[in-house]
Structure 1
Amino acid sequence: MSNAHPAAALPFRADLQGLRAVAVLVVCLAHAGVPALAGGFVGVDVFFVLSGALITGLLLRELEQAGRIDFLGFYARRVKRLLPAMLTMLAVSFAAAAALLSDTEAAAQLASAPYAATWVSNLYFAFAKFGYFEELAARDLFIHTWSLAVEEQFYLVWPLLLTLLPWRSPTGTARGLAVLGAAGLAASLYWTYKRPEFGFYLMPSRSWQFALGGLAYLAASRPDLRRALTPPRAALACGLGLGLILASTALLHPRLAYPGAWALLPSLGAALLIAGGPALGARHPLAHPALVWLGDRSYALYLWHWPVLVLGFALGYEGQPGPTAVLGLFALLLAMVSYRCVELPFWKGRASHGPARRTLLLGVLAVVVALAGGLTGLRALEPPPSGAADAASAWRGDAPVIYRQHCDAWYSHARVEPCVFGPETAQRTVVLLGDSISAQWFSLVQGIFAPPQWRVVVLTKSSCPMLDIDIFYERIGQTYQVCTDWRHAVLQDLARLRPDVIVMGGVASERFTPEDWVEGSTRVLQQLSPAAGTILLVPGTPRLGFDGPGCVARHRAPDGTMPAGACQADGALAEVAPVTRHLATAAARFRNVHLLDLNDLVCPGGRCRAVSADGVVVFRDGQHLTDRFVRSLIPAARPRFEQQVPALGQP
């Protein structure tokens, strides 16, 4: 509940605190990687509806009792309720990242700190343009503050909007909220499918959820509706509402265009729980004391869980249930301390008193100090003024030369623009085909299929695996139509080119089903097999589970040595084994398609290391190989290629 002026305080509802607990739990578990709760991001939608109900209720009650809204008092209460705990989280997380991560990692993962401190991080993430290989930017420690920024921007405009509605008439207020909600929903639907990043991050696209919460509050407070909503009917409404939220959590996933129409499910579920809760009172299942206890600490837990998980994952604990559970418990402990020592004193304790004007001035001063501290800290993490990049930056940039020749246009367009290496007079042609995981093998392919006999043609598009399926791409928030169009065009071009050899690879992603892998690969191979002499299908390399260059930078001694056991992943090969089997099934259907698995060279003995036994850095991020390491594999890989392509041994 919010800390409101006594004249405008709302009755405490334990069921709403329990609903907060459900919302924060599903968010945290989804971020922790629990597979059955991939749709846990809907907890944020529940928070938006709840905020709309509570803030609308507080402001309408103040209008009814005082005839006006004390704007300064309202904003001061918001500042005291939310700002101290958030600034504490930002400061502690910033310091922890600077201490635990390499400078390059920390700089990339703390980039949003100034925006988070000023409650505009949603604008930063909506308008930022990240490159394909900026993997660290996707692990920004403060990306979760986008939802807090949306709420603060809502709080900024909502009091004024309510005063413009016919607030003396509940029916008029409801109609006004319905109009505002319909406009916000229309914006959300449009942006979700036209500009997905705007639909997800911008406040106008979420305003309908706040308006829906306001309508739910009105429904719960109207005497005639409360009389009509008998306990059995209320139980049905609440059961349906909770069912919608839990079903959304279990059935939705990040590969959907969201929020859009899908967000109606958890949002309507939250509205039903808000409207039906008063009729059940203390008998409401969500009013259980344990849920109320967690709901009281939901804001603190939301603040702390993400930076704790991200820092833990950066240190190599991603995908490990035991360590992840420990990280979750540590986040809960931090939330308990933050709630008791920071949040409560400013919310309900001694620090909660004081004139509104002074509170706002102190809040602005605190934000200015935090902003200055964040900018200073980020500058301290930058490379020296001389411009000399540190070793980690050099490893991170150790990519094939094709990326400097614009062979890969990513999602910008679907034009087929090959890069060609070797003489036009070459007797034979090899094509390197696939996504960025396939592209990492360029130097190896060029080294084995050498001129003057061979010409190498590169046809790659990042995040576009060679599967004949439509792909929803999370980075752009919509179906990757450019990938589909490019793939069709490439297959037609290859039918005309008729190369001697095609080396085709791709990421070993778990987001595709076995049928996607087997049948999607088969449909592609059906078109390629008649067009090529030999097709070598290279399974995707494993993921480290952490940033390779950053880990090496943290552990490598000045003499180049590494502690035993540092920066390695033991179970990574097992994770890609199912995809390898699916590709083998598809390859077996064609006489000229052969599986060529190089993963035992990447991860000898089944153990993936960030640095090879020869001291070469293996990964340039968490999944792509450095070009130097790929070149080092040429002697060991050559016999495998020669076994499948006899022409390699011919003059």
Structure 2
Amino acid sequence: MTASSTTPQATPAPTPSMSGRSRRGSRFQPEIQGLRALAVLLVVAYHFWPERLPGGYVGVDVFFVISGYLITAHLFKEAARTGTVKLGQFWARRIRRLLPLSLLVLLVTAVTAVLVLPSTAWQSTLRQIVASTLYVQNWILAADSVEYSKLDEQATAVQHFWSLSVEEQFYVLWPLLLVLALLVTGARAARTPQAVRTTFIAVLSVLGVASFVFSVWYTGQDPAQAYFVTPTRIWEFALGALLALVMGSSQFTGRLADLLGWLGLAMILSSAWFYSETTAFPGWAALLPTVGTVLILMCGGRGAGTGIHWWLSRRPATAVGDWSYAIYLWHWPVVIFSPYLSDEADRWYVKGLLILAVIGLSAFSTRYVETPLRRTRLLRPTWGSLVAAAAGMALVISTAHVAVAAVERGFADTELSEDHPCYGYAALANPDQCGDPLEGDLGLMPNPAQVTAQNSEPAYPDCQAETDAEGVPECWLGAGASAAEGTIAVVGDSHATMWLPALDEIAQEHDKRLLVLTRSACTPRAGEIDEDSGECARANAEIVEKLAQDEDVETVVIAASQMHSSFGDPGTDLDLPAHDVELTDTARAMYAPIDAWLEAGKEVAVFGEVPRMNKESQEEQTLPECVALHEDDVTACDDDLEDTRVGDRWLTRSEDVFRGVENFHFVPTEDLLCDEVTCHAVLGGAITFRDNSHLSENFVRSVTDEIGQRLEDAILSAD
């Protein structure tokens, strides 16, 4: 059957038994290289100009479909001929193709990171280099995406290895699954191409549908994790795989086929243009770029100027496609490192030059590293590839560890300790004794990297409930139950938890038990509860009632972030004193628990919100990172007091609302690290924040005595 000029038709493929067959999976297809070029350029443009091409990340999904198509075509060819797949040989080929260049990039990145990045980024980069080397990076990022303490962490120079991790997991599991399917169905014994094809199509159809359903559901449930985990992406590989199995070496041609090919391109480009980081992805949204990729693979012609395959087969496109793997590997470290090397890195022309440099480096490394190692006889045996892979991975991991350890040992020793009379807050409180709180030759203690580590290694790891944890988990600190005389309860979000090093010591000094009822990202408030209410709202309602009725609880301490969502009316009347503050529904919701506990006769101490550093000036940089980059002049990391007030600060304004109420106590916090104009990044050798909004544990300990004095009335009045 000849192809019509108006209707897409399939070009018949030679039967499997014919010699010299021209099957899609067994001949070079230059248009696929062009498609790879399109995919990698979308990703590169997205990473260099995320505001201009906010959906360029869909280039990764194009790669997934291509991988499923090519690998499955190869596996089918072997299985149809032999009845099985030689797993060792398959994996050895993947190792020779992928690992030499990826391990080289990881090795170079490990060394460059300690030379270029601030010390605050070394440990997270090391952790992710190890994960990338072992191809489990996507699972690490998925775990970090829901861990509250890691939400402010900056992207590392190897974060892009998440997609390579997904692909490697596909390369490991896919052939195993297909071999198992052949064994179970008996297709291996039959050794007929049709039996193998039927088995592969059945298995991949079921797997693809199951993965897509899960992807849609999980993207709706937890989009942050869904983006990275492998099961939400399997169906994208399956699309390409089913295309290879159903179409074989056939290809639709003709005018309509040309139009469908161009439609596929439009689908990919439109998703790159209109999607953004707010798009729920992958889920339903991933159909647009992936189906577009399928259309390009199965439809199109080589007519000069009109056929999309003609354009994708031009030498510039295929050349970039040949280098696409290297371009993907090299470009992201360049994106991360360049701002630390030049203040001009954000200029459009500098970015253009960097992209050209990446392409040049990629062409060089493909020709002189990837290609020679892939063809070397030493790695040709399966065992040779496996041994080389293990040795290369060990080299990367050990080099990364040694590089970080060697530079960390180079940190200057300091005579400073938390017992120093001018350490931390003491330097600000005693200017006559300590002089300028930012002067002195004692250094920093702890160093910026150690302060950053406090985000992932909290002093009280089991004392803060996760946002969606059911019920009201309790954590007890302070004095022992047998010797305690009364209880202090701490309520709030992570900004209440950060005060625990001070509150724990204060409670012990007053022989009080300390009941911690804090929850990540959960502002203390009251409101009506229904079946749609989340765990935060339910927990708050339970805590309000629990503490109001518990006679052992004498004092309630409240603290929270100044940045939070808006809340509806609490649905209850508040008995507030006369005031001049205009209250919103959010304010009333936050004041309702205070009112309830005051009504129950509790002493209520409300901490004012702490400053939010660098919100206006350096939002993408954490304060410890800034200090690491400006150790010679840490004042560069200070912030104007007014600029740190970025939320509505209803807890601070409660001082005016509840003024004159006998058992209400307001605890100011801004003056602990700010003067009338400036909030300080470093005081008395102590870095004040562990990110941009949570005080460092060491600084909190330095203000323990001062906080104790400010809480004294709230504690002693309850006795």
Q: Secondary structure at the match of 2:517?
A: strand
CA–CA separation in structure 2 for the residues paired with 1:572 and 1:88: 46
Q: Secondary structure at the match of 1:460?
A: strand
CA–CA separation in structure 1 for the residues paired with 2:247 and 2:232: 25
Alignment partner of 1:611 out of 667, 677, 682: 682
Tell me which residue corresponds to 1:181. 208
CA offset digits 1:31-82 (Å, max 9, x no partner): x8x4687766544333212322343455567889999988777655544442
Q: Secondary structure at the match of 2:682?
A: coil
Query: 2:54–2:277: 8 Å Cα contact kept in structure 1?
Result: yes
CA–CA separation in structure 2 for the residues paired with 1:63 and 1:213: 18
Matched ranges for 1:55-134 at <5 A: 55-57=71-73, 75=91, 78-100=94-116, 105-122=121-138, 133=149
Give unmatched runs, 5+ long, in structure 1. Answer: 471-478, 556-561
Tell me which residue corresponds to 2:695. 625
Tell me which residue corresponds to 1:407. 463
Q: Which amino acid is 1:83 matched to?
A: L
Tell me which residue corresponds to 2:18. none
Q: Which amino acid is 2:393 matched to?
A: L
Q: Secondary structure at the match of 1:344?
A: helix
Alignment partner of 1:532 out of 580, 598, 614: 598
Q: Secondary structure at the match of 1:579?
A: coil
Matched, 1:19 2:88: no
Give unmatched runs, 5+ long, in structure 2. Answer: 1-22, 415-444, 570-582, 615-619
Q: Which amino acid is 2:398 matched to?
A: T
Query: 1:351 and 1:161, CA in 2 relative to 1: closer, same or farther beyond 3 A?
Result: same
Tell me which residue corresponds to 1:476. none
Q: Which amino acid is 2:542 matched to?
A: A
Tell me which residue corresponds to 2:168. 152
Which has more radius of gyration? 2
Query: 1:539–1:580: 8 Å Cα contact kept in structure 2?
Result: no
Aligned residues between the structures: 611
Matched, 1:304 2:304: no
Tell me which residue corresponds to 1:493. 546
**TM-aligned CA deviation for residue 307 of structure 1:** 3.7
**TM-aligned CA deviation for residue 182 of structure 1:** 1.9
Query: 1:570 and 1:104, CA in 2 relative to 1: closer, same or farther beyond 3 A?
Result: closer
Matched, 1:437 2:460: no
Query: 1:212 and 1:394, CA in 2 relative to 1: closer, same or farther beyond 3 A?
Result: closer
TM-score when normalising by structure 2: 0.65
Query: 1:147 and 1:101, CA in 2 relative to 1: closer, same or farther beyond 3 A?
Result: same
Query: 2:36–2:63: 8 Å Cα contact kept in structure 1?
Result: no
Tell me which residue corresponds to 2:563. 508
CA offset digits 1:120-167 (Å, max 9, x no partner): 444666789997646798755434323212212323454576685875
Tell me which residue corresponds to 1:563. 632
Matched ranges for 1:163-178 at <5 A: 164=182, 168=194, 172=198, 177-178=204-205
Q: Secondary structure at the match of 1:542?
A: coil
Query: 1:522–1:586: 8 Å Cα contact kept in structure 2?
Result: no
CA offset digits 1:85-117 (Å, max 9, x no partner): 211211111112233457775244212434433
CA offset digits 1:376-406 (Å, max 9, x no partner): 345544588xxx999437646779x994494
Matched, 1:338 2:354: no
Query: 1:514 and 1:360, CA in 2 relative to 1: closer, same or farther beyond 3 A?
Result: farther
Query: 1:189–1:199: 8 Å Cα contact kept in structure 2?
Result: no
CA–CA separation in structure 2 for the residues paired with 1:456 and 1:89: 50
Matched, 1:267 2:290: yes
Tell me which residue corresponds to 2:421. none
Query: 1:466–1:521: 8 Å Cα contact kept in structure 2?
Result: no
CA–CA separation in structure 2 for the residues paired with 1:24 and 1:185: 23
Query: 1:58 and 1:548, CA in 2 relative to 1: closer, same or farther beyond 3 A?
Result: same
Task: Please report the RMSD computed on the Cα atoms of aligned residues, expressed in angstroms.
Answer: 5.8
**TM-aligned CA deviation for residue 569 of structure 1:** 5.8
Matched ranges for 1:447-596 at <5 A: 458-466=516-524, 482-496=535-549, 502-506=557-561, 508=563, 522-532=588-598, 536=606, 538-539=608-609, 541-543=611-613, 545-546=620-621, 548=623, 562-565=631-634, 568=637, 570=639, 574=643, 577-580=645-648
With 106-115 and 277-286 compared, the bigger mean Cα shift is at: 277-286
Tell me which residue corresponds to 2:474. 417
Tell me which residue corresponds to 2:389. 367
Query: 2:26–2:74: 8 Å Cα contact kept in structure 1?
Result: no
Q: Which amino acid is 1:155 matched to?
A: Y
Tell me which residue corresponds to 2:434. none
Q: Secondary structure at the match of 2:112?
A: helix
**TM-aligned CA deviation for residue 212 of structure 1:** 0.8
CA–CA separation in structure 1 for the residues paired with 2:196 and 2:267: 26
Query: 1:369 and 1:73, CA in 2 relative to 1: closer, same or farther beyond 3 A?
Result: closer
CA–CA separation in structure 1 for the residues paired with 2:299 and 2:652: 55
CA–CA separation in structure 2 for the residues paired with 1:590 and 1:38: 47
CA–CA separation in structure 1 for the residues paired with 2:382 and 2:687: 51
Q: Which amino acid is 1:243 matched to?
A: S
Query: 2:215–2:283: 8 Å Cα contact kept in structure 1?
Result: yes
**TM-aligned CA deviation for residue 20 of structure 1:** 0.7
CA offset digits 1:575-616 (Å, max 9, x no partner): x6442368889999998899987457545577665422x332
Q: Secondary structure at the match of 1:249?
A: coil
Q: Which amino acid is 2:561 matched to?
A: G
CA–CA separation in structure 1 for the residues paired with 2:460 and 2:367: 54
Q: Secondary structure at the match of 1:503?
A: strand
**TM-aligned CA deviation for residue 168 of structure 1:** 4.9
Q: Which amino acid is 1:84 matched to?
A: P
Share of identical aligned residues, percent?
25
CA offset digits 1:519-569 (Å, max 9, x no partner): 5564343454343376747335425654555665676xxxxxx41257616
Relative to its length, the structure with more helix (as a share) is 1
Tell me which residue corresponds to 1:474. none
CA–CA separation in structure 1 for the residues paired with 2:641 and 2:54: 21
Tell me which residue corresponds to 1:8. 27
CA–CA separation in structure 1 for the residues paired with 2:341 and 2:672: 22
Query: 1:37 and 1:571, CA in 2 relative to 1: closer, same or farther beyond 3 A?
Result: farther
Alignment partner of 2:233 out of 203, 206, 218: 206
Tell me which residue corresponds to 1:473. none
Tell me which residue corresponds to 2:433. none
CA offset digits 1:470-523 (Å, max 9, x no partner): 9xxxxxxxx9955444333223324446977653312636xx579999755643
Query: 1:126–1:201: 8 Å Cα contact kept in structure 2?
Result: yes
CA–CA separation in structure 2 for the residues paired with 1:233 and 1:553: 54
Query: 1:495–1:527: 8 Å Cα contact kept in structure 2?
Result: no
Query: 1:538–1:595: 8 Å Cα contact kept in structure 2?
Result: yes
Query: 2:526–2:592: 8 Å Cα contact kept in structure 1?
Result: no
**TM-aligned CA deviation for residue 358 of structure 1:** 2.2
Query: 1:270 and 1:621, CA in 2 relative to 1: closer, same or farther beyond 3 A?
Result: same
Q: Which amino acid is 2:682 matched to?
A: V
